[in-house]
Amino acid sequence: MSRLALSLNTLALGLITLVLGGAFAEQLIMGELPCPLCQLQRAGLIAAGLGFMLNLRFGIYPLHYGLVLFGALVGAAVSIRQILLHIAPGDPGFSQALFGLHMYTWSFVTFVWILLGVAFLLALLQPGAQPERTRHRLGGFVSLAFLLMVAANLVSTLLQCGLTQCADDPTGYAWLDLALSWFKKP
Amino acid sequence: MFTVFLLGLISALLVCIGHRNLAIATALTTTLLLAGLLFHHMTSKLPISL
């Protein structure tokens, strides 16, 4: 049972990392820069992922699942906020739709799946069982990938917004443009 | 805006190097900060910028 729970935690963290990677793909390949609410949803995924990372590193504790739930709930609240901002009839929504749903709607679906998944994982917990710190090579690899994704999000946010307020409808990278303008100076 | 990602990165690094309690504290702070930023986005009542 413990091995199943560890595998599912690894799968969950891997899927969160993939979703964050997908968001980057949309940003870098399709040129859809994230708005402030979009970035907060990415942060919600990161907050949820930290709980799974803690399980893989230190063993499975209910407290870690609590952190996942907290992060997913706040992330879901951000998604709902953005859904409601664009729910009026005739509103085209923000950015392109994927299979008929905008990214913030898919983000809400992802958070709901995380909440349901944690409910299932909590049901697997055996009362009184001691958390095991088992070496899990795949879990280590996935944790490293998640860490790199978090770092990439930090760098991307700094390049896009700098230390100031992010634009509601972003069109470029503030710090990147500033750096390029310095190089172009005669 | 970058502070929430910075805190998340610090928490992830603390997990990697083995500081469980600090990692949990920073992870919790990350989520609380995220909730605060959402509150500010909805109400603009906090003296900060997103």
Of how many residues is chain B composed? 50
Max Cα–Cα distance, chain B, nearest Å: 38
Q: How many CB pairs below 8 A link A and B?
A: 104
Distance from CA of B12 to the nearest CA of A (A): 6
DSSP state of A62: H
- ipTM for the complex shown: 0.89
- Dump pLDDT digits (tens) for A119-176: 999 998 877 766 666 667 888 899 999 999 999 999 999 888 877 777 777 777 777 7
Q: Do A53 and B12 touch (CB under 8 A)?
A: yes
Q: To which H or E segment does residue A167 belong?
A: none
Gap between the Cα atoms of A137 and A141, Å rounded: 6
Judged by a CB distance cut-off of 8 A, whether residue A54 touches chain B is yes
